[in-house]
Chains A and B, each alone.
Chain A
């Protein structure tokens, strides 16, 4: 047995927040108790002193791009899953926009098998909504579900046809599969590469109005209401989307949503190189501030934070999107969208939300473990006896500086380079195995 002795246990699913000792037997949680490890236990079992540290269910990230199969130069399932556990993430949902697209059981099984071989975070495949994610014909959703997919999504692009989307929602509802949407009206965002507003105007870059997202969120909420399907809105970035989802939840639409750390910490001024809350000023036209949806404005950040506080935004997900380093060393227009985030998501959220008093630590943990697990009916996110032993021991006081070269992801495209963050995973267990451990200098 592994005994995590006398840490501050935060287990939102079971309403626990206090000093506890967690007993792990094989691959599952045996007991969470108030009594510290006994001297006898210390002789027999592997007892890890967790005093002064936090012990929580492993984090669950619903939105990760692992690039394999097809673009292994950017990331592989193994490197991504390794990076995940360094960030305290024990379960991740792998987006299907690989090459080929995960729209068949063979790709889904390949992804899951590669994840198991790697032996780090649990890698759960997401299937496509439409064949090839082309937005035209439905993918084989029943087959995808059988092969282990926990949701369907065409992430990276929207299903532009409302008619196709309506049928996809109906079909997925029969299978009880959540439909995750990348909400973007392509006719409104067309040609844009950053948020539309004063910053884009000053830089002379074509803008993407918030309405491109909000209009699509509104459409999909209406269709979810019409069909009774489970909708999950990915990477909510705009205040208008939060408002729309809040209203939809109030009238009983089955919707969950996620926000990404960069969207609730950085504004579009980061593209202009203006110093952000977390750190130093950068260069104008920094493509590390380019992602889709784009960084928005202060009012959007405020709305996202409010949504996280009151639970309208259920989860925090990284939208980890690796790109080769030289792809980002291009003119802003030409650089690809996306940044990595598996290893920084918790620390950014902790530094910006918890240390700034927006969320309590238990609230943050809920948004990053129990709530995402519940959204997609995943096994983790709880320390309930009998549950799988996916556990993180956190050091919430450690201050560390993000050095892209030191990250375990194969890519380095982070907008948080050089920023000093507080808190990181000291120890990560997946299925009772220690898969990540920060070496503490003696």
Chain B
């Protein structure tokens, strides 16, 4: 499979539609194979693809889904996985990011999966090392594999994203998930709307190629899917929101509000969910919720990203 794919996955903004589609097709294959294996059918063993390669996960922020998902993905491809513990390392002694990654590179990393609170940090890492660098979330910039896994889950339901409308509701200002989704979904032909209180809509977001909805009704009317983003407590401390209750009153998704959506429309959330704030439990657990499928897509997408960035030979 000769797919022109960059060595580093730093942002979806830089990818072309054929690159994204090629990656999603490979991820869809991995996802089907995993489903068959779970169903007890003959397993397709992919452990030869990255045998002998070292994948290091380097998380400077907490994570449940993303890190374990990357680790499972890397192991499914046969790679050796090393987990870098920020608190048990020289970073705790004040070693700089660049010095840390140069050392890991010298130890022999083939891929560095990096999450960092500073936007642009993975690019800095990529400049310093020989290994492939995969951005697992940098500040409020991008979370490329999240954008890709959302696209995969939606594509599997719809066949294509062309002409579809996806609403993203919540804290757009601080969301790397929103930015990666805006880039990814619009490159695939969907229209993206963002909505939330004005305190959480960053200035000039429409320049990324989305529209801004000023009410939940405006966001949801006619949308084919809605994605709710997590509302963090810091937003109350920094006076962007009065509190979770007031947010839920105007922007929270519950069963009654979902009546603004077309019947067949889907609901997504990148997790972790604040039940009852941005999304009520009945919505989260409803049949139209794709939340668990998103997690499943996550492993497959990360397998595809690792395989492509590390130039694994995937048999047709």
| A residues with CB within 8 A of B | 196-207, 209, 283-285, 326, 329-334
Nearest CB on B from A185, distance (A): 15
Query: Nearest A residue to B139 by beta-carbon distance?
Result: A204
- Please state if A284 and B207 are interface contacts (CB–CB under 8 Å): no
7 A-B pairs within 8 Å (CB atoms) are namely: A197-B204, A201-B207, A202-B13, A283-B127, A285-B123, A285-B124, A333-B139
Question: Is the CB–CB distance between A204 and B124 below 8 Å?
Answer: no
* Inter-chain contact B203/A331, CB cutoff 8 Å: no
**Are A331 and B208 in contact, with the CB atoms below 8 A?**
no
CB distance from A104 to the nearest CB of B (A): 33
Q: How far is B205's CA from A207's CA once the two chains are assembled, in angstroms?
A: 13
B96 touches A330 (CB 8 A): yes
- By beta carbon, the residue of chain A nearest B120 is A285
Docked pose: A331 CA to B116 CA in angstroms: 10
CB distance from A296 to the nearest CB of B (A): 13
Of A202, A206, A207, A329, the residue contacting B207 (CB under 8 A) is A202
Find chain B residues with CB under 8 A from A209 CB: 203
Q: How far is the CA of A237 from the CA of B140 in the complex (A)?
A: 26
Chain B 109-140 interface 0/1 with A at a Cβ cutoff of 8 Å (1 = within): 00000001111110110010000000000111
Give, as a whole number of angstroms, the nearest-CB distance from A125 to chain B.
34
Closest to B121 in A: A331
Instruction: Write the chain A residue with the least CB distance to B60.
Output: A331
Q: Which of A196, A330, A333 contacts B119 (CB 8 A)?
A: A333
B179 within 8 A of A: yes
Closest CB-CB distance, A193 to chain B, in whole Å?
9
Query: Does the CB pair A205–B204 fall under 8 Å?
Result: no
Contact across chains for B202 and A332 when beta carbons are under 8 A apart: no
Q: Are A204 and B179 in contact (CB under 8 A)?
A: yes
CB distance from B3 to the nearest CB of A (A): 24
Q: Which residues of the other chain, A, contact B205 by a CB distance below 8 angstroms?
A: 198, 201
Which residues of chain B have C-beta atoms less than 8 A from A207's C-beta? Answer: 202-203
CB–CB A332/B120 < 8 A: yes
Chain B stretch 196-245: residues in CB contact (< 8 A) with chain A: 202-205, 207-208
Interface centre among B119, B120, B202 (most CB of A within 10 A): B120
In the bound complex, residues from chain A placing their C-beta under 8 Å from that of B312 are none
Distance of A200 Cα from B120 Cα, bound (Å): 12
Chain B proximity of A398: nearest CB distance (Å): 33
A303 CA to B181 CA in the complex, in Å? Answer: 36
8 closest A-B pairs by CB:
A198-B204, A204-B141, A285-B120, A331-B118, A204-B140, A204-B119, A333-B118, A198-B207
Closest B residue by C-beta to A209: B203
B97 in the interface (beta carbon within 8 A): yes
Q: Does B150 contact A (CB under 8 A)?
A: no
Q: Are A205 and B96 in touch, CB under 8 angstroms?
A: no
B8 beta carbon closer than 8 Å to chain A: no
CB distance from A268 to the nearest CB of B (A): 10
Chain A neighbourhood of B141, CB < 8 A: 203-205
Asked if residues B203 and A198 are in contact (CB atoms below 8 Å), the reply is yes
Within the complex, the shortest CB–CB distance from B179 to chain A, in Å, comes to 6
Q: Which residue of B lies closest to A334 (CB)?
A: B118
Cβ–Cβ contact A205 & B140, under 8 A: yes
The contact string, 1 if C-beta is below 8 Å from chain A, for chain B 14-50, is: 0000000000000000000000000000000000000
Q: How far is the CA of A197 from the CA of B179 in the complex (A)?
A: 15
Determine the residue in chain B with the shortest Cβ distance to A331. Answer: B118
Instruction: Please measure, in the bound complex, the distance between the C-alpha atom of A360 and the C-alpha atom of B123, giving whole angstroms.
Output: 42
The answer to whether B203 and A201 touch across the interface, beta carbons within 8 angstroms, is yes
Contact A284 B124 (CB under 8 A): no
B171 at the interface (CB under 8 A from A): no
Nearest Cβ on chain B to A272's Cβ, whole angstroms: 10
Contact, CB under 8 Å: B98 / A329: yes
Complex interface: chain B residues within 8 A of A283 (CB): 123, 127
Q: Which residues of A have CB within 8 Å of B96?
A: 326, 330
Are B119 and A203 neighbours in the complex by a CB distance under 8 Å? yes
| Contact among B97, B127, B142, B204 with A204 in the assembled complex (CB-CB below 8 Å) | B142
Expressed in whole angstroms, the minimum distance between the Cβ of B163 and any Cβ of chain A is 25
| Cβ of B193 under 8 Å from chain A | no
Q: Is B176 in the interface zone, CB < 8 Å from A? A: yes
Taking a contact as CB atoms under 8 Å apart, the answer to whether B203 and A204 are in contact is no
Chain A residue, CB-CB nearest to B173: A201
CB pair A330–B97 under 8 Å, yes or no, is yes
Chain B nearest Cβ from A300, distance in angstroms? 15
Q: Output the least CB separation between B201 and chain A (Å).
A: 9
Using Cβ atoms and an 8 Å threshold, which residues of chain A touch B127? Answer: 283
Point out the residues of chain A lying under 8 angstroms from B139, CB to CB: 204-205, 333
Query: Closest A-chain residue to B239, C-beta based?
Result: A187
Complex: how many Å from CA A260 to CA B142? 33
Q: Nearest Cβ in chain A — how far from B41, in angstroms?
A: 42
Which of A199, A202, A331 interacts with B97 by CB under 8 Å?
A331
B203 touches A197 (CB 8 A): yes
Chain B neighbourhood of A205, CB < 8 A: 119-120, 139-141
Q: With A331-B124, A333-B139 as given contacts, are A201 and B208 in contact (CB-CB < 8 Å)?
A: yes
Q: Residues of A contacting B116 with CB < 8 Å?
A: 331
- Contact pick for A202, options B118, B124, B138, B208, CB 8 Å: B208
**With a CB–CB cut-off of 8 A, which chain A residues contact B140?**
204-206
Q: For A203, give its contact among B97, B117, B120 (CB under 8 Å).
A: B120
Give, as a whole number of angstroms, the nearest-CB distance from A330 to chain B.
7
Task: Give chain B nearest CB distance to A188 CB in angstroms.
Answer: 12
Q: Which residues of A contact B176 (CB under 8 A)?
A: 204
Q: How far is the CA of A329 from the CA of B127 in the complex (A)?
A: 10
* Nearest CB in chain B to that of A332: its residue: B120
Closest chain B residue to A329, Cβ basis: B98
Of B13, B96, B208, which is in contact with the most chain A CB atoms at under 10 Å from its CB?
A: B96
Specify the chain B residue showing the minimal Cβ separation from A195.
B203
Residue of A nearest to B118 (CB): A331
Chain B nearest CB from A236 CB (Å) reads 21
Rounded to whole angstroms, the CA-CA distance of A326 and B124 in the bound complex is 12
**How far is A202 from B210 in the complex, measured between Cα atoms in Å?**
12
The smallest beta-carbon distance between B89 and chain A, in angstroms, is: 17
CB distance from A210 to the nearest CB of B (A): 11
